[in-house]
């Protein structure tokens, strides 16, 4: 017998059940039978992860099955063709190239080589070893997506009787969000793993430790159309990746700050609720299988985020693009000094890298579709010119000392006036950046505590 709600102001359980059934019917979900069987049905539909705050629910299990998403990404990678584990011959060739490249870099770079031995990875190994970094980057988007889906089921009125139901439906919404977004994440990572030729070619430090990594399968696919000695190609790529890893290893704030900027951008993302509403109006939603989630994700492709960025996102994006350009420009400058002396095919190799960078590939698609982020270092050539000017004026020591602290690293304005920066006439304009700096410091501090 129902004696009414136990707490004043809270909906009656039977009323909640009836409203919940109506809401789920509007979504095309099964809502027949008594309330207990309905809850069991929902729990089975979402993999047993719908607790609704009921006895026996495990709140620590979380709505996102990250291992399943990683497996999906590896399956997509495998669908692109053979992905052999690099053999002994490839590992020996990498070690030989690495020893040579490191000896050259010692003469042109003030940063020491990394201590971890270089390695060749398959595409699947790249996904496996970088997945935790991608997880931290995309989690803020999942939070925003869940909030947007909750908003579809609430009027926003203070006394809305559906508010309690929306809160109770939290596990379902989080699970649905995870399935929708997880399918896109797996697709993006799978595609990205087939194109990247080194561990951090995309510019972000997604490796757990600084290490020179090559993906031989992708090198063959990306560079075999050039009339160049494959050994020169590999040596050049090792040279570039060795320089990049020296930088990440020596400048301890750099890798974490890049990821913190991306995470900060992701936290400001606004989800396009109307696009989600269109996507979930699909017949037979009651069978939310991975295949159905993939179909829904395709409906959302390119429509998940609101078309306009917030002013704060614009500021973060400018900093991120500038920092990426400075990193790639520094790598270009250092490797150019080495390669022009030791590699006769330097000009062709450098031009191939520039063309590859300018072409919108899987990396750009990945960041655009999953974060709404047009992540492309647009001013690499300007940055390379600035680093070259610093070397001419102050030598390699003066050039590389600039990385000692983020406050003295060149800004976007400095790329417009490299000679002014080199001569010390830079006028700092940190106006409006204090709040962002404080947030980034907090993110970096949290990152350090998690490790």
Quick one: three-class SS letters along 71-109?
HHHHHHHHCCCCCCCCCHHHHHHHHHHHHHHHHHHHHHC
Per-residue pLDDT tens digits for 155-166: 556 555 556 556
Residues near 278 by Cβ (< 8 Å), separated by ≥ 6? 299, 303
Residue 14: its pLDDT value, please? 60
Helix or strand run (H / E) with residue 125: helix 123-152
Per-residue pLDDT tens digits for 7-20: 554 445 566 556 65
Q: Mean pLDDT throughout 121-143? A: 92
53-62, 72-81, 338-347, 428-437: least confident range: 53-62
Q: How far apart are CA 265 and CA 267, in angstroms?
A: 5
**Whether pLDDT at 331 is above 50:** yes
Are 293 and 186 in contact, with CB atoms under 8 Å apart?
A: no
Per-residue pLDDT tens digits for 395-432: 999 999 999 999 999 999 999 999 899 988 554 433 33
Residue 245 to residues 114, 136, 366, 391, Cα–Cα distance (Å): 7, 21, 23, 20
Q: How far apart are the first and last CA of the chain?
A: 53
Residue 40: its pLDDT value, please? 56
Per-residue pLDDT tens digits for 439-451: 545 544 554 555 4
95-109, 266-280, 329-343: least confident range: 266-280
Residue 171: its pLDDT value, please? 67
Return the higher-pLDDT residue of 296 and 394.
394
Unique residue bearing structure tokens 């020491």: 112
Q: Mean pLDDT throughout 125-147? A: 89
Tokens representing residue 83 in the block: 């992905």
**Does the reported pTM lie above 0.75?**
yes
Tokens representing residue 289 in the block: 């299988």
pLDDT band at 307 (very low <50, low <70, confident <90, very high): confident
Q: How far apart are CA 107 and CA 397, in angstroms?
A: 11
């Amino acid at each position: 017998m129902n004696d009414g709600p136990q707490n004043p102001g809270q909906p009656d359980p039977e009323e909640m059940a009836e409203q919940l059934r109506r809401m789920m019917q509007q979504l095309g979900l099964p809502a027949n039978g008594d309330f207990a069987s309905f809850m069991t049905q929902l729990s089975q539909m979402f993999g047993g992860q719908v607790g609704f705050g009921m006895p026996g629910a495990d709140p620590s299990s979380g709505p996102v099955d990250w291992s399943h998403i990683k497996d999906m990404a590896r399956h997509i990678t495998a669908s692109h063709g053979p992905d052999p584990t690099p053999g002994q011959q490839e590992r020996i060739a990498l070690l030989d190239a690495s020893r040579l490249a490191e000896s050259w870099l010692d003469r042109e770079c003030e940063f020491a080589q990394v201590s971890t031995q270089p390695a060749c990875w398959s595409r699947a190994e790249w996904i496996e070893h970088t997945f935790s970094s991608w997880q931290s980057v995309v989690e803020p988007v999942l939070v925003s997506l869940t909030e947007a889906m909750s908003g579809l089921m609430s009027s926003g009125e203070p006394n809305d009787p559906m508010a309690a139901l929306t809160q109770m439906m939290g596990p379902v919404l989080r699970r649905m969000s995870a399935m929708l977004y997880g399918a896109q994440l797996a697709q993006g990572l799978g595609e990205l793993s087939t194109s990247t030729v080194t561990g951090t070619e995309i510019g972000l430090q997604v490796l757990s430790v600084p290490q020179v990594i090559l993906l031989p399968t992708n090198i063959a696919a990306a560079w075999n159309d050039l009339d160049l000695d494959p050994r020169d190609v590999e040596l050049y790529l090792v040279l570039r990746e060795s320089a990049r890893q020296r930088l990440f290893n020596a400048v301890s704030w750099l890798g974490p700050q890049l990821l913190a900027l991306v995470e900060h951008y992701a936290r400001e993302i606004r989800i396009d609720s109307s696009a989600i509403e269109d996507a979930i109006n699909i017949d037979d939603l009651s069978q939310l299988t991975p295949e159905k989630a993939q179909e829904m994700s395709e409906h959302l492709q390119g429509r998940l985020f609101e078309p306009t960025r917030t002013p704060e996102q614009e500021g973060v994006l400018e900093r991120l693009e500038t920092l990426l350009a400075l990193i790639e420009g520094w790598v270009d400058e250092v490797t150019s000094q080495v390669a022009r002396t030791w590699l006769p095919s330097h000009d062709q190799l450098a031009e191939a890298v520039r063309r590859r960078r300018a072409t919108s590939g899987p990396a750009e698609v990945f960041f655009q579709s999953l974060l709404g982020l047009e992540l492309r270092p647009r001013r690499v050539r300007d940055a390379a010119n600035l680093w070259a000017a610093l070397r001419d004026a102050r030598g390699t020591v003066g050039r590389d000392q600039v990385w000692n602290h983020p406050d003295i690293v060149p800004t976007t304005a400095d790329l417009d006036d490299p000679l002014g920066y080199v001569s010390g006439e830079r006028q700092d304009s940190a106006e409006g950046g204090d709040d962002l700096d404080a947030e980034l410091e907090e993110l970096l501090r949290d990152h350090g505590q998690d490790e």
